[in-house]
Structure 1
Amino acid sequence: MTKRIKSFILTFIAVILLCCMIIIVAVEQWSHTEAGKVPAKTAVLLHAVDKNLVTSGMKPPKFLTTSGTSSYNRETKYIPMSDGAKIPIRIYEPKIAGPHPIIIYYHGGAFLEGYGDINTHDNIVRALANKTGSVVISVGYRVAPEHPFPTATEDSYEALLWAVENAKTFNGNTNKIAVVGDSAGGNIATVVAMMARDRKGPAITSQALFYPLTTFKDVAFNSREMYDSGYYLISRNVMLKARKYYTPNKEMWSNPYTSPLQADNLSNLPPALIITAEFDPLRDEGEAYGKRLAEYGVPVKAIRYNGVMHGFVSFYEVMNRGNHALQEATIYLNQAFNEEIPYNPYDLQIYEHQKTLEAIQERGEAYAIGGYLLGKQTLAKLESW
């Protein structure tokens, strides 16, 4: 081997090592946020969102995903509402013979136009359809500012009624119905369960709520103060904007159909799975709602995922904790479809510790994503010159 080749190899190795060091230093720097240190994987995703390096329609890098065939057929249609309008729904129907349990899914998005719809949350719904073997119906309820409260909740409840009335067309089992939602959609999911109880509507077997907003009132929650900047994917400004346009009248803030945490009666509601995130302004109110449900005799399973931010389930393809939360929801929903969920005193579970190999994998993937993001940033700067 000539000296020139040896020199080239050594230079190449030195460059690779330097790049690795730059990536590691950058990721570790991103891990130190305004409210404290976050895990490496959470840090790179927060950095990516903060720097607009990811979009709602962007797919994760192929090296972090697995391929497979779909177990369902998907169809989008428009269904009529009582006021003459039509709203979109997307039906994910298993390919195998039914009848199948029915999951009604309500997407997040701050109750506001431009913050979320059935397309932005399609990955979560696809995962639920694949994992549960249920018919999953994603509801495109109307949102503010054009449609303030109660349009979103009325649309969502009418979508439930439509699903029951038309269950035979998609091989659905009306004896096994669950409502699921994230963030604003978590609020709507539990409100729909309350509406079904109050209006003697369809029986709901369970509700699964991902980091739900549960009150529009000015309640002093520690998580609202610590994580309200917007760096953790939801800000105080967005929450105030949602309140301004979705509940424009102050009297609406105490309505149980906007603020279920303030409801006078939470009895006779379906068993609930409530999943919250450590770095989330909505964390404390979601957990407070779970505690209140339990006080009224409702079976509640509450899990806080440490080390992650609001909306982390949407990143389930690249976050083990997001995938774990989806798996918990799958197990819970399937259990509720097939047996009675027992009541136990409220007990908030904390999911924090990972297996050693899983933790090493997470950190390695964090550095890989960090390198990918640094590369994107570098290319963007070069293109701007």
Structure 2
Amino acid sequence: MGYKTLCLGFFCILFAYCIYSPVPENIEEPWKVRTISAIIKITSFLGTLCENMGLMKHEDVITTLSLVHFTKPVSDENVTVIDTDFSNIPVRFYLPKRKSERQRPAVIFIHGGAFVLGSYKMSAYDDLNRLTANKLEAVVVAIDYRLAPKYPFPAALEDCVYVTKFFLQEKVLAKYRVDPSRICIMGDSSGGTLAATVTQLLQNDPNFKGRIKAQALMYPGLQSLDTFLPSHQEYQHGPVLTREMIIKLLCLYVTEDQVLPQAALRNEHMPEESRHLFKFVNWSEFLPEKYKKNHVYTEPVLGKLNASYPVLVDSRLSPLLVNDSQLQSLPLTYIVTCEHDIFRDDGLIYISRLRNVGVQVTHEHVEKGVHGALSFTSAPVFLNLGLKLRDKYINWLEENL
């Protein structure tokens, strides 16, 4: 009894500490954000504790706890939901039931989760895709790509590219009565990273150039070169994501070697030969003045990491690294950035670079927003911000797809 009481007391103190962590003054629904941040921090703490005790890996603990939010492919009166696969890559289809004489638009959905977590089965994603299919009378195909660390880079990207190309075949589009001129790729967070890279690769592939009409990137992370962007510094302790947590997870997509995340936390992880790439992510050149504030740009320390990770200079990992000539062929783009988000500046830099080369970009910046809002649109804790972003995204699709 005493042991249980001690444990309960410990977790009550831990929760109180987490929930009373400061949040920005102008944040929307601060108590809900505090609660979400507390749950995430405690989950991460449990993962670290279990890993240190040799019971279970950090990411496996988080994955196990998230299973409670997974859904089955349940159809309703408006949408038929089917789980299937393309060459053993799981996909979930959302097919409108209403009869239509016209071919339908389509959305290819790529979930977030730092390349390590998540699934299209999560209830918030299921709700989003179901609503998208219903309101737009669109076919939605969601991808469950392979996750790190079991499947490191480029496994997730390869799965997303394969599914997208498979779906774009004439016979497949005809089977689902999809209009080949009205297809969008959408992703949130690391799913936005993957969506941006898939779009780049397809637009620069002669066999698929012009096949994607639009891309929608929700608070995407788009580079791994510089971990000291202003937003990385301002929101290193959250809300929702902390810098240490996200670096630890993202590094698992590259390696399980603990040397890399420790170096990345110090911004000393890039090799000397990467110097020429920093012109693509130099925030002092691309960020609007209001986001530079009192920050002074300093280039990351290069060449200090003895281990070699060639993937760090690969534009398929960091889509901001492609040159302007590759960017200018990209399609109509919708990007959401949130003010209180560690990845805010990644999105802002990409917007600047896309607009500089003439790409048509719709930018939705949420002054009171936090990262991952689309993931918090169902019980037990939901954010009105997530519902608003969901509606804005669907309205943009209605007008542009």
The two structures have a TM-score, normalised by structure 2, of 0.67
Matched, 1:322 2:386: yes
| Distance in 1 (alpha carbons) for counterparts of 2:34 and 2:136 | 29
Secondary structure in structure 2 of the residue aligned to 1:146? coil
Q: CA deviation at 1:38?
A: 4.7
Number of the residue aligned with 1:275: 336
| Distance in 2 (alpha carbons) for counterparts of 1:73 and 1:218 | 44
Number of the residue aligned with 1:254: 313
Structure label with greater radius of gyration: 1
Secondary structure in structure 2 of the residue aligned to 1:91? strand
1:125-204 alignment to 2 at 5 Å? 125-165=129-169, 166-202=172-208, 203-204=211-212
32 and 308 in structure 1: CA distance in 2 versus 1, 3 angstrom threshold: farther
| Distance in 1 (alpha carbons) for counterparts of 2:361 and 2:95 | 28
Opposite residue 142 of structure 1, the aligned amino acid is R
Number of the residue aligned with 2:263: none
Query: 1:30, 1:43 within 8 Å by CA — same for their partners in 2?
Result: no
Q: CA deviation at 1:197?
A: 1.2
Q: CA deviation at 1:326?
A: 1.9
Matched, 1:235 2:242: yes
**How many residue pairs are counted as aligned between the two chains?**
293
1:71-150 alignment to 2 at 5 Å? 71-80=78-87, 86-98=88-100, 99-112=103-116, 115-120=117-122, 121-150=125-154
Identical columns (%)? 27
Q: CA deviation at 1:163?
A: 1.1
Secondary structure in structure 2 of the residue aligned to 1:37? coil
Q: CA deviation at 1:250?
A: 3.2
Q: CA deviation at 1:104?
A: 0.2
CA offsets 1:90-148 (integer angstroms, 9 cap, x no match): 00011123421110000000011xx2111123232223223322111100111211211
The two structures have a TM-score, normalised by structure 1, of 0.70
| Distance in 1 (alpha carbons) for counterparts of 2:226 and 2:240 | 20
319 and 296 in structure 1: CA distance in 2 versus 1, 3 angstrom threshold: same
| Distance in 1 (alpha carbons) for counterparts of 2:34 and 2:80 | 33
Q: CA deviation at 1:292?
A: 0.8
| Distance in 2 (alpha carbons) for counterparts of 1:33 and 1:278 | 18
1:293-332 alignment to 2 at 5 Å? 293-316=354-377, 318-332=382-396
Secondary structure in structure 1 of the residue aligned to 2:105? strand
40 and 274 in structure 1: CA distance in 2 versus 1, 3 angstrom threshold: closer
Number of the residue aligned with 1:263: 322
48 and 219 in structure 1: CA distance in 2 versus 1, 3 angstrom threshold: closer
| Distance in 1 (alpha carbons) for counterparts of 2:23 and 2:313 | 30
Could you tell me which runs of 5 or more consecutive residues in structure 2 were left unpaired when the two chains were aligned.
1-16, 44-64, 70-75, 256-307
State which of 269, 284, 287 in structure 1 corresponds to 2:348. 287
| Distance in 2 (alpha carbons) for counterparts of 1:138 and 1:285 | 24
Could you tell me which runs of 5 or more consecutive residues in structure 1 were left unpaired when the two chains were aligned.
1-28, 60-68, 81-85, 338-385
